[in-house]
Chains A and B, each alone.
Chain A
């Protein structure tokens, strides 16, 4: 669709290997929420054999099985420079679950093996002895607004943040980064990581629009996004928050 208005270029990293928690739902949200506003999304899919384009406005890294994540980690570590450069210039980066871990310094598995990260976020992850699974609700403050964000988590990693980034949010329900400090996710300028799937964005349209606003700003386009009819989103969000408050 050509509208004369700027298109957002999204780089979807490793869609064949990192897609375990329905990451394509997040991509669909980016696409539709732009289309409903007369804007468009171009997606560049980057696999093991491709290089990473430096000129995208939005980079997305999803979650994978351990086996796939190990494969991707080595590959990404070797070719991440264009991604680092784009992030420095103001491109938006979103990492979910395994993708969140890969944005940090690295992941140490239970057997001591270490998976490299790319160090875009100042955080370190080590495997815990049991998986942290369940509904999550947290308060997120971005662009000076605080909103409730809902999702589902399922991860063995325990993530601890360094001084170079801040938590994405503070938990009302769920385990979050490590099950101990009440924090979930991480953010540094426009680089965002989180354990939340479900997928993340369909039930959190406010967060989707914050990320799209940043991407549009980086693309030199309009930043004030028109309001959409988010009735379904709001009810689904409320249902998920209620489920999180119930003992299951």
Chain B
């Protein structure tokens, strides 16, 4: 039986009260429950609330980097003094967007990071002013299905967009570029500095055949996974010159990077506290989005420069004498970038890898075999290794068959005990890197919170 739709005001206040109650009962941050309930009581509520935001709604999506990019766009928007409603600390599914909108009171503009599978639905509901399409990588096949199905769904959703919507897209991702190509109103971005290019496609590259004719793509520069300066020699399909492009990328290990960008509004020089080339892309996406919204280059650069890493993304915590850096690693493309960023550091690496297989992580742990952990082993850079989480022994096998001596490995499923083991082996000189999957990151964060080291995650602002 289907419930009749409740009037907007009644449905909204019931949903808000449920969220407050949940928070009081200690059931977490209440970032999904109100939206979930609201969608039940009044299915059209998300669309209605989105339309009532006067400055429109911006959606940011992609397999990797959406949380960080949304935070960077937020920083740029904050310089305008506009009141922003966002799902920064909450769920990136429809229920999370609905929950954020429930608390929008008087917001002038909406900014939401959106799960890539939820994007087509939310594009239809929110009629966005701008969407940023960042990348599509292999991720959680048991949950999202094949990458090609997501590509198809994104393409259909973009074809239904209002022509006035600005589509910001990553020109270096051949699949994303093809999806955006037919839309009349776009801002593209990409990396142009050949010094940061890599020699060959990594094992986990996904979209390496031409989308038009099926011939293998040729790259004169490869950045991350299948991203780069691609062209098809068969049919002539090729990456065009992006509107916003990084002309110089200087990576300074975990400490951050310097970027020089060319934009239609003029050049931007920027010191970013976020490490790695994946964050170069995030900064480019944020810059292109801010530029598409009409922000000037003089305000974008300084705004982005101030931003620290988002929760669990190169976040640093001091535990005794050990400096602990947490790098969320939930799919091959992301984990590979974390590894490459760690390798930029010149000290011995102590590593704690936490593998869970819950719904939000993907129940299929095959993906760890697509990660190039061998890069750490080849140069003998790994001083110590601890593996933990629900599937600690799968990770132990990954390293055993990767060529790491099992005798030098600690296998400790409990996250708390694994942290203790890793801290012990890190010694007093230590720099410990923690690579957790998503739910392992939440567990790890809870362990740190229990020890009084960090605030709980829903207090993230």
Contact = CB atoms under 8 A, between A and B. Distances in A.
Interface in B48-64: none
Interface residues of A, number: 35
Contact of A22 (B145, B370, B390, B403): B370
Nearest to A68: B209
B308 interface: no
Contact of A239 (B208, B393, B406): B393
Interface residues of B, number: 34
B238 to A, nearest CB: 21
A29 B363 contact: no
Contact of B148 (A19, A65, A197): A65
B361 to A, nearest CB: 12
Interface in A35-94: 65-68, 71
Interface in B279-324: none
B457 interface: no
B363 A135 contact: yes
Interface string B225-259: 00000000000000000000000000000000000
B203 A203 contact: no
A207 interface: no
Contacts, number: 90
A73 to B, nearest CB: 14
Contacts of A110: none
A42 to B, nearest CB: 18
B366 interface: yes
B400 interface: yes
A133 B362 CA distance: 11
B329 to A, nearest CB: 15
B153 interface: no
Interface string A142-157: 0000000000101000
Given A28-B401, A232-B411, A239 B391 contact: yes
A248 interface: yes
B447 interface: no
B269 interface: no
Contacts of B369: 22, 24-25, 28, 199, 202
A32 B363 CA distance: 26
Interface of A: 16, 19-22, 24-25, 28-29, 32, 65-68, 71, 131, 133-135, 152, 154, 197-199, 202-203, 229, 232-233, 235-236, 239-240, 243, 248
Interface of B: 138, 141-142, 145-148, 203, 208-209, 214, 357, 359, 363-370, 390-391, 393-394, 396-398, 400-403, 406, 411
Given A28-B402, A152-B142, A239-B390, 19 more contacts: A16-B208, A22-B370, A32-B400, A67-B148, A134-B142, A134-B363, A152-B364, A154-B141, A154-B364, A198-B394, A202-B397, A202-B401, A203-B394, A229-B406, A232-B393, A232-B396, A232-B397, A232-B406, A236-B397
